Amino acid sequence: MISFNQPPVVGGEEEYIDDAIKSRKISGDGKYTKLCNRWLEQSTGAKKVLLTTSCTHALEMAALLLDLREGDEVIMPSFTFVSTADAFIMRGAKAVFVDIRPDTMNIDEKLIESAITEKTKAIVPVHYAGVSCEMDTINDIAHRHGIKVVEDAAQGVMSTYKGKALGTLGHYGCYSFHETKNLSMGEGGAILLSDEHEIERAEIIREKGTNRSKFFRGEIDKYTWVSLGSSYLPSELNAAYLYAQLQKCQSVYDDRMRNWNMYYEMLKPLRDRGVIELPVIPEGCVHNAHMFYIKAKDLEVRTKLISYLKSNGIDAVFHYIPLHSSPAGIKYGSFAGDDNYTTKESERLIRLPLYYGLKSDQVEFICEKIGGFYR
Ligand SMILES: *Cc1c(COP(=O)(O)O)cnc(C)c1O
């Protein structure tokens, strides 16, 4: 069986974890957490990066930083992972779902403005498959309405929009280092801050609502509980794993990109025949080869293709059940405007195996089988 995903192991992880153990510092904010924060700040240009226990938790931190109240509204696509919505709904907000563009599966920037009400507090663009949303338009809308932008850049580490790192284009950016993402620490993530005046508040939220970070820097002589917060600080063991990955990020990127390009080239003839569709990368966007997906004609063909691939030892998968049609989505959110593409396009999408270490001949085999299905 060719598995759909395998967590990246690049070499060096064990050595750093071992070093963390030997240093007798395994809780958070030690050497490796700081090295990762700094590495990410330097490579993205963000004012501040704080490692978190997950992207979900980075989004929760953004929701706390936004100071959301009961009844506030947050605009987002319905075609996304549950955490995009959950983090804000936990603070009492309502999710307002906007339709996606069929080419990139990202929120349709042209439909956002008509979903804004006096209760709207934020827009949460999700950079699907590591391909950027149309951020100039989204930031312009947010600016004109005095609302904030929280980028769900869970899939967008090492991607750019007009030369800038995803996660640095809005007020807050959220990364994931889950084992299914390009770079990993098992479970983990990061929040990227664009405003240096918010660094202290973010540190407090991440340290259970205490000003402990200031205390450790010697800026105050005792620490205390100052606001709402939670335990969003990852262990040094996880950070040590990530630091090894960050240092080898280029080889992860190159390996994934080689396979992504190979899929694209080998499946082009099927696209030209009009039987499948391939991902679209708009001008100005450089992606990170996070995902390779194709689109079948409809749900029926997709179901057959997935089981055909399974019977040939290939684990291809689909996602997401649109949030607005899930039980929690119905309870906590609503769709603004028409669902022209969210349901229809999500039912056609198939993700093909793509991970660090996937072999060229495996990609070739998968493409041949897809070709065989359509013969
Ligand atoms: C993976 C993912 C998340 C959640 O990331 P975790 O680190 O597992 O919490 C959130 N949003 C999107 C779009 C994702 O792909």
| pLDDT digit string, tens, across residues 158-210 | 999 999 999 999 999 999 999 999 999 999 999 999 999 999 999 999 999 99
Contact 97, 123 (CB under 8 A): no
| Residue the block writes with tokens 């403005």 | 113
What is the C-alpha to C-alpha distance for residues 131 and 125, in angstroms, rounded to an integer?
Answer: 11
Give the per-residue pLDDT at 150: 98
| C-alpha 86 to ligand 1 mean position (Å) | 11
Give the per-residue pLDDT at 30: 96
Pocket test for ligand 1, best of 178, 179, 180, 317 (most atoms within 8 A of CB): 178
Give the per-residue pLDDT at 118: 98
- Positions of the chain with pLDDT under 50: none
Summarised one tens digit per residue, pLDDT across range 299-308 is: 999 999 999 9
What is the C-alpha to C-alpha distance for residues 306 and 281, in angstroms, rounded to an integer?
Answer: 24
Amino acid, res. 360: S
Give the per-residue pLDDT at 265: 98
Give the per-residue pLDDT at 55: 98
Q: What is the SS3 assignment for 107? A: strand
* Torsional class of 220: left (φ above 0), alpha (ψ -120 to 50), beta (otherwise): beta
pTM score: 0.98
Contact 225, 162 (CB under 8 A): no
| C-alpha 79 to ligand 1 mean position (Å) | 13
What is the C-alpha to C-alpha distance for residues 193 and 195, in angstroms, rounded to an integer?
Answer: 6
Q: Is the CB of 126 under 6 A from ligand 1?
A: yes
The atom number, within ligand 1, closest to the CA of 177 reads 7
Give the per-residue pLDDT at 87: 98
Rg (C-alpha) for the chain, rounded Å, is: 21
Pocket test for ligand 1, best of 79, 83, 323 (most atoms within 8 A of CB): 83
Q: Is the CB of 76 under 6 A from ligand 1?
A: no
The atom number, within ligand 1, closest to the CA of 128 reads 13
Strand partners, 121: none
| C-alpha 83 to ligand 1 mean position (Å) | 6
| C-alpha 126 to ligand 1 mean position (Å) | 10
Amino acid, res. 164: K
Pocket test for ligand 1, best of 55, 175, 183 (most atoms within 8 A of CB): 55
Give the per-residue pLDDT at 178: 98
Q: What is the SS3 assignment for 225? A: strand
The atom number, within ligand 1, closest to the CA of 57 reads 9
Give the per-residue pLDDT at 35: 98
Q: Is the CB of 152 under 6 A from ligand 1?
A: yes
| C-alpha 173 to ligand 1 mean position (Å) | 12
Give the per-residue pLDDT at 67: 96
DSSP 180-216: TSSS--SS-EEEEES-GGGHHHHHHHHBTTB-HHHHH
Going by DSSP bridges, is the β-strand pair 292-295/94-98 parallel, antiparallel, or unpaired?
unpaired
Give the per-residue pLDDT at 231: 97
Closest listed residue to residue 55, CA positions, set 236, 163, 148, 186: 186
Q: Is the CB of 154 under 6 A from ligand 1?
A: yes
The atom number, within ligand 1, closest to the CA of 155 reads 15
Atom 2 of ligand 1, residue of closest alpha carbon? 154
Q: Is the CB of 178 under 6 A from ligand 1?
A: yes
Q: Is the CB of 81 under 6 A from ligand 1?
A: yes
CA atoms within 13 A on the CB side of 42: 8
